[in-house]
């Protein structure tokens, strides 16, 4: 599944396109407002990115820490939904611990989600 900048999904590999099942349109969400884009999606790994704009910066000109948290939350949720949707399940975040390694002022912020657990009630 790949989310383009306009929020549409294109199914990649054997992953379902679940966008039509969401109750809120991408454009009306935080993800759509700030421009999160899913770049790659497989059952084991997913990547996403967002272009750094003034909207995402805090007052020192650095990317706001909440941007990283929200990007990680979106990516982990979307990756899990892509895997469990066909089983009639949904996914939401349970925890989000974010560490900051270095400040970003411009360019793109990228995130990677790698599945480390696949249980019957949590993935």
Would you please indicate which residues are annotated as catalytic (active-site) residues? Answer: 73
DSSP letters along the chain, please?
-EE-TTS-EE--TT----GGG-SS-GGGSHHHHHT-EEEEE-SSEEEEEEE--GGGB-TTSSBPHHHHHHHHHHHHHHHHHHHHGGGT-----S-------S---SSEEEEEEE-----SS--
């Amino acid at each position: 599944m790949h989310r383009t900048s306009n929020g549409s999904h294109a199914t990649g590999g054997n992953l379902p396109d679940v966008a039509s099942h969401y109750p809120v349109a991408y454009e009306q969400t935080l993800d759509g407002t700030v421009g999160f884009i899913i770049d790659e999606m497989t059952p084991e790994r997913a990547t996403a990115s967002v272009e750094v704009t003034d909207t995402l910066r805090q007052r020192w000109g650095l990317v706001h820490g909440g941007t990283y948290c929200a990007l990680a939350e979106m990516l982990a949720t979307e990756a899990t939904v892509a895997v469990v949707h066909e089983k009639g399940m949904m996914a939401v975040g349970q925890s989000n611990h974010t560490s900051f390694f270095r400040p970003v002022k411009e360019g793109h912020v990228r995130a990677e989600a790698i599945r480390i657990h696949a249980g019957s009630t949590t993935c």
